[in-house]
A and B are shown apart, each in its own frame.
Chain A
Amino acid sequence: MDSATLSSPSLTHLQRLEAESIHILREVVAEAERPVMLYSIGKDSAVMLHLARKAFYPAPPPFPLLHVDTTWKFKAMYELRERSAAAAGMELLVHQNPEAKARGINPFDHGGLHTDLWKTEGLKQALDKYGFDAAFGGARRDEEKSRAKERIFSFRTSTHRWDPKNQRPELWRLYNARKAKGESIRVFPLSNWTELDIWQYILAEGIEIVPLYFAAPRPTVERDGMLLMVDDERFRLQPGEVPVERSIRFRTLGCYPLTGAVESTADTLESVIQEMLLTTTSERQGRAIDHDQAASMEKKKQEGYF
């Protein structure tokens, strides 16, 4: 954000959100022993990484990036991942759950187990392997009802469980980052950002995001009311299914066989924001993961999923 001058009477909401997030990032670096930033390559991760670069400039952010990979992300995401880490001058750690790999877990055959093994278990493995005691995540409170009550500093037991009854009160700008050996913290610097804030900030700061957020002709099939992109040859076509080229874009990014696209012609940031504001469904609708059961996010969170 450009410097406030005397002509602007107060900080804008984006400037205040930015200042708060930077404050949180620095507080963790000052108090944790071994922080890491969970990097999912999505737009929220892009904003979080940008904030980290600003927080520690001119030094590179003093922690590595960790991508808990499922091997099923879009190709375009893998490309941006490498470029972003290099631009930030940060070490990039990629973890793929060896058990999921050995068992050939995939989104076509294994449904919920796919997320559970690659992401939930994979994340725990990676945190244990490197001994990270604080992990930044890009979750926002506006994404889902149960997240509205999540603290910015969220404590996990040594077995990575979240206990909603045992979270610390957060007063003023004071965060208590003390923990026992083996415990870890998930820290959410973007807690108070909304989807619109994220987009506005990307626009204002010129942050690079995965091109899949912008509309382009892409090979697709329609399945169970979702528009899926055929990103590589591993996509299993059902009998009678033929990929059709449609102009599509994505509102959220995850594993490509699980992420629904929307038909769109919005190919600039402004038009994407325009479409988002004119749309009538919420952001997470394109994700298969939330529809499993009522209060599903909350259950996943207790088990260690972000």
Chain B
Amino acid sequence: MTAYRPDALIASDISAYLELHQHKSLLRFLTCGSVDDGKSTLIGRLLYDSKQIFEDQLSALEKDSRRVGTQGQAIDFALLVDGLAAEREQGITIDVAYRFFATEKRKFIVADTPGHEQYTRNMVTGASTADLAVILIDARKGLLTQTKRHSYLAHLLGIRHLVLAVNKMDLVDYDQRVFDAIVADYADFARSIDIQAFTPIPISGFRGDNVTTRSEAMPWFTGPVLLDHLETVDVDAEADRAKPFRMPVQWVNRPNLDFRGFAGLVTSGTLRPGDPVRILPSGRTSRVARIVAMGGDRDVAIAGESVTLTLADEVDCSRGDVIAAADAPPQAADQFKATLVWMDPAELLPGRSYWLKLGTQTVSAVVRAPDYAIDVNTMAHGAVKALTLNDIGVAEIATDRPIVFETYADSHDLGGFILIDKLTNATVAAGMLQFALRRAQNVHWQTIEITREAHAQQKNQEPRLLWFTGLSGSGKSTIANLVEKRLHAMGKHSFLLDGDNIRHGLNRDLGFTDQDRVENIRRIGEVAKLMTDAGLIVLTAFISPFRAERALVRSMMPEGEFFEIFIDTPLEVAENRDVKGLYRKARAGQIANFTGISSPYEAPVSPEIHIDTTRTTPEEAAERIVETIMGAWAPIL
């Protein structure tokens, strides 16, 4: 078997060959199918037939095929593309792998993603950058649940070109009726989920029928051969070019005082010097002065290019802003409806704040309880409280400031986002913006003339939030009460929020599940924030067991106003005291989700104040707290 048969032009006229290959376009596509659908075999076949396999690789492949292959003595093309050692031994592909091959017309990047149900996350990842998806079906099995799942996910991620590759036609005697029946089935399904068009092709990855060359065994098929189709289908970058100009600013280039360039990737449209542009979200306008490039300024830049441009006017513009066509700018909003694909083993906690990255903007965002989740096997909607790994759901999202956006249908670059856990930094979700909520577009913050500074000044104090945290029975309320009395005696304006005035009123509807605890703290944080806006010194005494929520509240407050006060009482001490008899009940199983017993307490890592109650009396603790916050005080005179 000859592995590599180079193009005759390479030997005869290398310059002509290089000229031809210099102008290839690029198509990124995704293959989806289960372990048995012959997906890896198909990719291996494409690499092999397009001469990407070298002799040393082929001899390694022959050796591997005999050792671990599944095709007996024949070459197992799947081994060409299966990757990490552990996976190879299990005989499955468990991650996204990227493969490359090229023909005279195009270079191809193939995202190879697995068919296992638990790996929705990998397929969504691979699909996010693909122009086209090849959905593989085993001709002997027809439409399976996973076929529907793959098609739905490809459609959800906005892939415009779908190929239905009915594989293993050699095992059904190349029978046209089998193919037609599968295509009819698929057409019904496609209509039901709003897929407008797809291209069906009968193939055999193993034998090569209709992959790169037309099958003699299936003369009845008159449609395109797979590779021809891949070579001619239009790519997204071309479609993006027809849309209005957009460039999210990545980096401001300031080598000296005379030059200020805005660097970024043009996500849509075309740009020329002189074009009027608008900077979002500020809305200021200017004109493009230059498109700067090493080797000389450019006359034009188009969608898909990374450029540096300068503006005619000195306007504020920095990373996260979007430079757009002046007459067709995108909108900005801070509340959205979005589809989320959850990608992390830790579930979504509604109300917890995450980083949201969209384009070059990173903001703090809160996801509300999901409206519903979508079963990827049946596309049915179901009620859920949270999203777990590989769940897909629709939810409202609120960001802490307006972001420049487009709907995902209009722009993958300004409508696709990721959520990042603030503590672990993991990418926990992929999201697609559906639309901005009207209330966000219409409600604008009124400029309040009586500012929070004015409120505070009137009270002759600086606002503070003293956040007491610790186990049940640690002494939070006792100490907080003593602190407030001292502050009151000093003529300070304060207010204590605790279980008595919050749990029975504002948060009456909340229980003690993790989600409810998060929401509980979020509401308390918001109320406390309003009170500090009014100039008060606010004390809160809640267990507040999670670091993330405490960090969230901290992030809502101006620098230096938040004091985390850790009332550190060991569990056995608190349990021994058991002032309210709660530990006894919890141990007896009468109270669910009790912090320290059946629910975790995450102690502060570096609190502003740390009170060890085994060595300090409540009075001493109160005295120390007052001293600390008064000492940290810059009095307003």
Residues of chain B within 8 A (CB-CB) of A169 are: 96, 121-122, 124-125, 343, 427, 430
A10 touches B416 (CB 8 A): no
Residues of chain B within 8 A (CB-CB) of A29 are: 251
B128 touches A172 (CB 8 A): yes
Number of A-B contacts (CB under 8 A): 200
Residues of chain A within 8 A (CB-CB) of B10 are: 274, 277-278
B250 touches A148 (CB 8 A): no
Residues of chain B within 8 A (CB-CB) of A149 are: 83-84, 95-98
State how many angstroms separate the Cβ of A24 from the closest Cβ of chain B: 9
Stretch at the interface among A194-202, A209-217, A233-241: A194-202
A57 touches B293 (CB 8 A): yes
Residues of chain B within 8 A (CB-CB) of A174 are: 357-358, 416-418
State how many angstroms separate the Cβ of B232 from the closest Cβ of chain A: 13
A171 touches B430 (CB 8 A): yes
**Distance of A8 Cα from B241 Cα, bound (Å):** 12
Cβ of B328 within 8 Å of any chain A Cβ, yes or no, is no
Stretch at the interface among A39-47, A71-79, A110-118, A176-184: A176-184
Stretch at the interface among A138-146, A223-231, A255-263: A138-146
Interface SS majority for chain B: mixed
Contact of A280 among B22, B55, B88, B418 (CB under 8 A): B55
B238 touches A10 (CB 8 A): yes
Cβ of A267 within 8 Å of any chain B Cβ, yes or no, is no
Query: Chain B interface: which size bin?
Result: 35 or more
Stretch at the interface among B13-21, B478-486, B552-560: B13-21
A54 touches B305 (CB 8 A): no
Cβ of A16 within 8 Å of any chain B Cβ, yes or no, is yes
**Distance of A14 Cα from B305 Cα, bound (Å):** 11
> What mask results when residues 292 to 333 of chain B are scored 1 for a CB within 8 Å of chain A, else 0?
111000111110111010000000000100000000000000
Chain A: interface residue total (CB-CB under 8 A): 71
Residue from B98, B264, B430 with most neighbouring chain A CB atoms (10 Å)? B98
Cβ of A121 within 8 Å of any chain B Cβ, yes or no, is no
Cβ of B412 within 8 Å of any chain A Cβ, yes or no, is yes
> Which partner residue on chain A sits nearest B4 by CB separation?
A280
A146 touches B250 (CB 8 A): no
Cβ of A4 within 8 Å of any chain B Cβ, yes or no, is yes
> What mask results when residues 487 to 518 of chain B are scored 1 for a CB within 8 Å of chain A, else 0?
00000000000000000000000000000000
**Distance of A8 Cα from B264 Cα, bound (Å):** 22
B100 touches A11 (CB 8 A): no
State how many angstroms separate the Cβ of B535 from the closest Cβ of chain A: 35
Cβ of B253 within 8 Å of any chain A Cβ, yes or no, is yes
Cβ of B355 within 8 Å of any chain A Cβ, yes or no, is yes
Residues of chain A within 8 A (CB-CB) of B118 are: none
Residues of chain B within 8 A (CB-CB) of A172 are: 128-129, 412-413, 416
> Which partner residue on chain A sits nearest B108 by CB separation?
A13
A280 touches B305 (CB 8 A): no
A22 touches B306 (CB 8 A): yes
Q: Shortest 8 CB-CB distances between A and B: which pairs?
A: A59-B255, A22-B306, A13-B26, A13-B107, A295-B85, A282-B54, A274-B14, A57-B294
Residues of chain B at the chain A interface (Cβ within 8 Å): 3-4, 6-7, 10-11, 14-15, 17-18, 21-26, 54-57, 81-85, 88, 95-100, 102, 106-107, 109, 121-122, 124-125, 128-129, 235, 237-238, 241, 250-251, 253-255, 259, 261, 263-265, 292-294, 298-302, 304-306, 308, 319, 343, 355, 357-358, 360, 412-413, 416-418, 420, 425-427, 430
List 5 extra interface pairs beyond A146-B83, A274-B10, CB under 8 A. Answer: A56-B253, A58-B253, A196-B21, A280-B55, A282-B57
Residues of chain A at the chain B interface (Cβ within 8 Å): 3-6, 8-20, 22-23, 26-27, 29-30, 53-60, 141-142, 145-146, 148-149, 164, 168-174, 176, 178-180, 191-192, 194, 196-197, 200, 203-204, 270-271, 273-274, 277-282, 285, 294-295, 298
Complex A-B: 13 CB contacts under 8 Å = A10-B235, A10-B237, A10-B241, A22-B306, A23-B265, A26-B250, A55-B263, A55-B306, A59-B255, A148-B81, A149-B96, A168-B427, A280-B54
